[in-house]
Every structure is written in C-alpha cells, then in structure tokens.
Structure 1
Amino acid sequence: MKFFIDTANLEEIKTAKSWGCLAGVTTNPSLYAKTGGKLADFEGHMLRIAELCEGLPVSAESTATTTEGMIEEGRRLAALAPNIVVKLPICAEGLAATHQLAQEGIKVNMTLIFSVTQALMACSAGARYVSPFVGRFDDIAEDGVGQLADIIQAVKNYYGPDHTEVIAASLRTPRHVAQAALLGSDIATVPFAALEKCMRHPLTDRGLAAFEADWKKVQGLA
C-alpha cells in the first residue's frame, strides 16, 4: 500500500518526503485554508507542491459547482504541472466533468465517496482514483472500515489498479491505516500527525531507551 499525505502544508510534505515513504499528496480547500493561503495564490501553491513532489501525484481540488466550471478549472489545474491530479466530488456534475476530463487524458481523483455504487460510477466515468472516506462514518457511529472493505472489493471485481486505484481517505489513526492495508487498499492518504504516529510504538520507545541506557553504561557514563 502506498502512503499519500493529506495536507497542503509544504513543511509537512518536505518532512514526510524525507522519510522515503511518500508516494503522493492529497489536498482540499479546507487544508489549503489551514495554511493561511489566499485565493490569488491557490494555483501557485498547488504548483509549489507539485514541484516539491516531482513525479508523484498531487490532488488539487476544484471548487467549481457546475460541470462546465469543473471542466474549465480541471484543465487549468492539470496544466500547472504533469503530476497534478484534478480532485472532484461525486455528484452528477462531477461525474460528467470526470468523463470529459478523462477523455482528454486528465487524471481525476473522485472524492467524498461513501458507497459502493458511488465508487463504481466514478470508475465508469473514468476516475483514476476513488477516495472512500472512513473516519466520517465513524463520526456518525457507522462502520467506516466495513464500507471501505466493500468498496475495495467491488472496485477490484471490475477494475484493476491500471484503471482505478482506491485511496482510503479520512483516516484518523494508525489502526485505520493498518486496516486499510489489510483490506488491500491501493493507497492510504493520511494527515501528517497520523503519519507520524504510524512510525511510533511504546515498545519501540522502551527499547530505544533501554539501548541508550545500556550504551551509557558501556561508556562509563551511568
């Protein structure tokens, strides 16, 4: 399973990239707003992320609400850099825009997926990625991991990764990430804080502390 980072923060992206496990970036308007970014610099910021992640897919989300607007904005975003993927919501307008953009060779990440039927319709429209959400199901006391399992199975039944990859999204914890991997998700997109937690374990911390203490004894420092 590949790791994407779900952020628009350049420093977080640089740090995750330095760990050697970063395979892509996903962003959205809310994440961009958290950086303090302004409307006039949105495309410039997406370009900076794309340049920082040269060769890795970077999802930049359209904020248009009509099919024509999504197509126009999608073309503009895709033209910024060859690794930019246009992110569109699952809806009638988004499906029509995805169909057109896919015919033009522009990759689309269809987001806000919450059901098998939504995922399959996105695949049929030509989406390169589908992003089913997990954590938001948990927020309403439903089984987000179970829904993810169904979507992964359905997509794999009819489409291979060369056509559409599943991005497990809205992952909140290392447990979510592990479950996505065990289910066979192609990709997990993870906030920086959760990605940090994925490398940590209390037994690892305890082991490192013991090694350090023993080495101090060897050096005569303890």
Structure 2
Amino acid sequence: MKFFIDTANLKEIQEAQDLGVLDGVTTNPSLMAKEGISGKHNVMAHYARICDIVDGDVSAEVIATDYEGMVAEGEELAAIHPRIVVKIPMIKDGVRALKYFSKQGIKTNCTLVFSSGQALLAAKAGATYVSPFIGRLDDVSTDGLQLIDQIVHIYNTYEFNTQVLAASVRHTMHLIKCAELGADVATCPSNVILGLLKHPLTDIGLSKFLSDHKKAESTAQNA
C-alpha cells in the first residue's frame, strides 16, 4: 500500500519524506490557502517545490469546472514536473477531461468520488487514481469503508488499471481497514501515519530493555 500525505506544508512533507515511508502527496485549493499560497505563479512554484522534495506522485487540482478550462489548467500543471498528477473533479466535464488526459499520457486523480458508480466512470475514462472520500461519507452516516470494498471489487473483477486512493482518511483504523480491503493508496495527514507507530507494549518493552541494560552496565562497573 502506498502512503500519500495530504498537505501543502513543505515542512510536513519533508518530515514525512525523511521518515522513509512517503510515496506521494495530495493537495487541493483549500490546503494551498491554508499555507497562505495564492496567485497562479506562487501556486505553480509551490507545486514545483513539493516535487523537489518527494520521489512519488504529487496531485495538483484544477480550479475550472468546464472541459476546456480543466484541459488548459491541467496541461499547465502537468508541465511543472513529471511527478504532477492532474486532479479532476467527478463531474460530467471532468470525465471528459480524464479521457483527454489519458490519451495524452498525463496522469490524473479523479477526486470527490462518493459512489461506486462514479468510480466506475472514472476508471472507464482512464483515470490513474480515483479518490473516494471515506471520512466525509462517515460524516453523513454512510459507511465509507464499504465504498472502498465495492470499488476494489469492481476494479479487480474487470481488471481496471485505475488505483484506489482512499481519501479523507481520519485516523489509524481508517488506514488499517483500507489496507485490509485492498486500497492501493491512502492519503491522510502526517499524524495518521505517525499514529501507526504507537503501541503501549512497544513502549513497555523498550522501557524494560533500557532498564535491564542500565542495570547490567551498573553491575559491570561495580564488579
């Protein structure tokens, strides 16, 4: 399973990269705004800086909602760096844009997916990734993990090459369940990935090892 970090914060991205388990980055206009990045030139330059940090794919989202606008923006984004993946919304013109970029050999990430039917359309249009938002489904009393299961089953049945990128992953159990269900990628804040490190028995075991080592060293010095 690939781990992507969902942020535009360069420090967080660098820390995740240094941890050695980062496979890519996803961003969106809201995350850019959170970092105070505005204006086309600044946004494009920020994407380039992210690509310089990571080794994997970096999703950059278009703002346009019409076919021509998405194609124009997507081509500009793709020209920034070979790692850029053009993020396209799941709307009618978005599906058309996915097909266009697929024919051009440009990677895409179909975002704001909330049903298996939408995921099926994205795969048929040639999307590289499809992003089901499981946390947001949970927010409206719908089982987001069940959607992951459905999409994985459909893609495996028909041998689609589109990768399932679980998005809106809120906590470590979301992450583990997505891995169990066969999602290809999970994107989440860095604290969710770091949460996988935590287990009380690890802390207890390490504490005992260090305590025993200290006792052994003390005994050897006093001998």
**Taking structure 1 as the reference length, what is the TM-score of the superposition?**
0.93
- Cα RMSD for the two superposed structures: 1.4
Q: Distance in 2 between matches of 1:215 and 1:29?
A: 51
Which residue of 196, 218, 221 corresponds with 1:220?
Answer: 218
Q: How does 1:161-176 map to 2 (within 5 A)?
A: 163-176=161-174
Q: Distance in 1 between matches of 2:86 and 2:23?
A: 17
Gaps of 5+ in 2: none
**Which residue in 1 is equivalent to 2:193?**
195
1:88 Cα offset (Å)? 0.8
Which residue of 176, 179, 192 corresponds with 1:181?
Answer: 179
Is the CA contact 1:133–1:148 (under 8 Å) kept in the aligned structure 2?
no
**Which residue in 2 is equivalent to 1:94?**
94
Q: Distance in 2 between matches of 1:141 and 1:120?
A: 23
Q: How does 1:46-85 map to 2 (within 5 A)?
A: 46-54=47-55, 56-85=56-85
Is the CA contact 1:10–1:49 (under 8 Å) kept in the aligned structure 2?
yes
**Which residue in 2 is equivalent to 1:45?**
46
Secondary structure at 1:103 match in 2: helix
Secondary structure at 1:8 match in 2: coil
Q: Distance in 1 between matches of 2:103 and 2:208?
A: 58
Is the CA contact 2:17–2:53 (under 8 Å) kept in the aligned structure 1?
no
**Which residue in 1 is equivalent to 2:123?**
123
Secondary structure at 1:119 match in 2: helix
Q: Distance in 1 between matches of 2:70 and 2:23?
A: 26
Is the CA contact 1:7–1:13 (under 8 Å) kept in the aligned structure 2?
yes
Which deviates more from structure 2 when the two are superposed, residues 151-160 or residues 127-136? 151-160
Gaps of 5+ in 1: none
**Which residue in 1 is equivalent to 2:6?**
6
Q: Distance in 1 between matches of 2:7 and 2:164?
A: 18
The amino acid across from 1:192 in the alignment is S
Q: Spell out, residue by residue over 1:141-163, the C-alpha distance to the aligned partner (whole angstroms, 9 max, x if none).
A: 21111111111111221134xx2
1:101 Cα offset (Å)? 1.5
Q: Distance in 2 between matches of 1:214 and 1:12?
A: 36
Q: Distance in 1 between matches of 2:203 and 2:29?
A: 36
Q: Spell out, residue by residue over 1:139-198, the C-alpha distance to the aligned partner (whole angstroms, 9 max, x if none).
A: 1121111111111111221134xx211111111111111101111111111211111112
Secondary structure at 2:23 match in 1: strand
1:213 Cα offset (Å)? 2.4
1:211 Cα offset (Å)? 2.1
**Which residue in 2 is equivalent to 1:104?**
104
**Taking structure 2 as the reference length, what is the TM-score of the superposition?**
0.93
1:13 Cα offset (Å)? 1.1
The amino acid across from 1:169 in the alignment is A
Could you say which structure has the larger radius of gyration? 2
Q: Distance in 2 between matches of 1:203 and 1:7?
A: 31
Secondary structure at 1:111 match in 2: strand
Is the CA contact 1:62–1:73 (under 8 Å) kept in the aligned structure 2?
yes
Secondary structure at 1:80 match in 2: coil
1:209 Cα offset (Å)? 2.1
Percent identity (aligned): 48
